[in-house]
Amino acid sequence: MEYNTEKINQIAEQLVKLVGESLKQREQAGSPSMADFEKEFRDVLRQIGVKALGLYLSGLQTTPESEIRCSCGGQLHYQRMREAKIISVFGKVSYERAYYAGCECEKGKAPVDERYGLKPGAVSSGLAQLMALAGIGFSFEESEKWLAEFLLFDISENSIRSETEGLGLIQDQADEQAIEASQDEKVLQQRLRAVSDVPTRLYGSIDAAKVRIEPRAKAGEAVLEDDDWRDMKVGCWYQTEPVSKIQQSKRQREKAQRDGTVFRTKAHQYFCDICPADEFGKLLWARGCKLMADFSTELVFVCDGAIWIWDLVTHYYPNAKQIVDWYHAEAHLKKLADAVFTAQSDRQTWLGSVTEMLWQGQVEEVVLACKTIETQHPHVQPTSTYFANNSERMRYDVFRAQGYLIGSGTIESGCKQIVTQRLKRSGAQWTVDGAIQTAKARAAWLSGEWATLCKQRTLLPLAI
């Protein structure tokens, strides 16, 4: 938004006069830095913002009517102009608005508050977004310090936690609504009649990462002595685009020499939950419905070899192409080689040969090579079964020829960004609900859905 330049200049000149005396005192006391000047102006601007926003909100009140209709159907009577306070991005703001009461339901209200989504004692929507944004990026304790540096006033750790989890709760409720809609026959029929924006090639990936849940006793139960580690299941829908030669990194150029075209992922849509696999499958289907995944010309899942993952994919998307992540498959071969060969030369010779077989999609030869080793060394953990069970998911020569991704780096990154970087910070302990809600809020940010989520936010009373 642009404002009149002349008026901005006039205000700037007045601002310099306002803080000039304070800046002169700083200069006399020593050698102030540019950071000192900036902080001084920021603090003055913040105080001006507090006053200006309060005046603006008070100015929204028109001449009060003597009576207004209550939501219960009765009549509310004008009482007085009543002061209220909210906590905004500038700090605590006071304003006055007409207050009504006297209905038989014994409830009062201030129409200005209802009209503009204000709730006395709570944070403004603008501040709530900043608090939650800090809460999904840092620990709540760090967020308190981080926000104080930026806002120049204090927000409590509990408030940041509450607002972060509050946004996550909204996302959780949206997921539940999406699941319900995706299982409604009428909704699905309407969707079938209005198929549009179908992706030509859409990828899906699923994985899980452990989260430490704080041991808390439920009513009538003993306190758990050990931490409860739970699986945070994470899914992602995404698309790809080729990386031009001029944009390729050294690693990508090396990969291009081996693989041909190098792709990067885009349009990531992350979702997550702590729940049984069958419940997560419902979320997988619901989020896929929004993207018309089941109508995609080519639907490709790239995941590790976990049975629960492929069971979900087969159940909900039976026609999807299933690919075991190349790096997981390669790691199984390396683990077997490390367990069997003591001489590095022997290990490298066998591993190089069998890895090349796998790269060329010769899975049957890989299974035979593993069985031979396992027969000679019965003490090692069997690996051949893993490749035999996933043989059709390991035709890497065919997949490369069709231009498919064969690595699940996108979901690996999702687990790191959602779980490792936020939920597994040093000393972090969570309740199940707190972990889920914080993770869902962070997933919305990573998916580019933050603005949509914030629009759905309802003001919650917070402890400041």
**pLDDT per residue over 235-274, tens digit each?**
999 999 988 888 878 777 777 667 667 888 999 999 999 9
Mean local confidence (pLDDT), 142-149 = 95
Q: Name the band, by pLDDT with cuts 50, 70 and 90, for residue 224.
A: low
pLDDT at 185 over 80: yes
C-alpha span between 4 and 406 (Å, rounded): 55
Across the range 406-420, mean pLDDT stands at: 96
Percent of the chain with pLDDT strictly greater than 90: 74
* Residues 243 and 343 reside in one and the same domain: no
Are residues 346 and 365 located together in one domain of the fold? yes
Rounded-to-5 percentages of helix, strand, coil across the chain: 55, 15, 30
Q: Is the pLDDT of residue 216 over 70?
A: no
**What is the pLDDT averaged over residues 41-66?**
95
pLDDT for position 221: 61
Tens of pLDDT along 318-368?
999 999 999 999 999 999 999 999 999 999 999 999 999 999 999 999 999
97 with 45, same domain: the answer is yes
Q: For residue 368, is it within any domain?
A: yes
The mean pLDDT value for 183-188 works out to: 91
User: Stretch 174-181: mean pLDDT, rounded?
Assistant: 96
The more confidently predicted of residues 196 and 452 is 452
Residue 88 CB: number of other CB atoms within 10 A?
Answer: 20
Do residues 415 and 375 share a domain? no
Number of structural domains (the chain) is 3
Residue 98 lies in a domain: yes
Asked whether residue 344 falls in the same domain as residue 426, the answer is: no
DSSP conformation class of 185 = H
| Residue 419 DSSP label | I
pLDDT at 460: 45
In a domain, 165, yes or no: no
- Which one of 100, 122, 144 terminates a domain? 122
DSSP H helices in 390-429: 396-401, 409-415
Query: Looking at the structure, do residues 241 and 252 belong to the same domain, yes or no?
Result: yes
**Which pLDDT score, from 0 to 100, does residue 32 have?**
75
Task: Quote the CA–CA distance of 69 and 65 in Å, as a whole number.
Answer: 11
- Domain-terminating residue out of 380, 398, 416: 398
> Is residue 26 exposed (0-12), middle (13-18) or buried (19+ Cβ within 10 Å)?
middle
Task: Give the domain range for residue 385.
Answer: 328-398
Residues 447 and 381 in one domain: no
372 and 383 share one domain: yes
* 315 lies in the same domain as 369: no
Task: Give phi and psi for 384, each to the nearest 5.
Answer: -60, -35
Is the Cβ–Cβ distance between 178 and 273 less than 8 Å?
no
Range in 6-15, 213-222, 319-328, 358-367 with the lowest mean pLDDT: 213-222
The whole-number pLDDT of residue 334 equals 96
What average pLDDT does the segment 425-442 reach? 93
Domain boundary among 93, 122, 151: 122
Q: Which pLDDT score is estimated for 319?
A: 96
Residue 171 maps to a domain: no
Q: Is residue 173 situated within a structural domain?
A: no
Compute the mean pLDDT over every residue in the chain, rounded to the nearest whole number: 91
Residues 223 and 317 occupy one common structural domain: yes
> What's the pLDDT at 192?
84
**Section 417-440 average pLDDT:** 94
Average pLDDT over residues 115-144: 93
Would 127 be classed as within a structural domain? no
User: Which of the four pLDDT bands, split at 50, 70 and 90, describes residue 462?
Assistant: very low
**Angle between helix 140-151 and 157-182 (nearest 10):** 110
Same-domain check for residues 299 and 335: no
Asked, for residue 359, whether it belongs to a domain, the answer is yes
Give yes or no for a contact between 372 and 414, defined as CB atoms under 8 angstroms apart: no
The confidence score (pLDDT) of residue 463 equals: 37
Three-state secondary-structure class, residue 292: coil
- Paired tokens of 455: 């629009």
Residue 3 domain flag: no
- Residue written as tokens 């840092």? 138
The answer on 312 and 224 residing in a single domain is yes
pLDDT at position 248: 76
Provide mean pLDDT across the span 166-195. Answer: 92
State yes or no: pLDDT of 461 exceeds 50: no
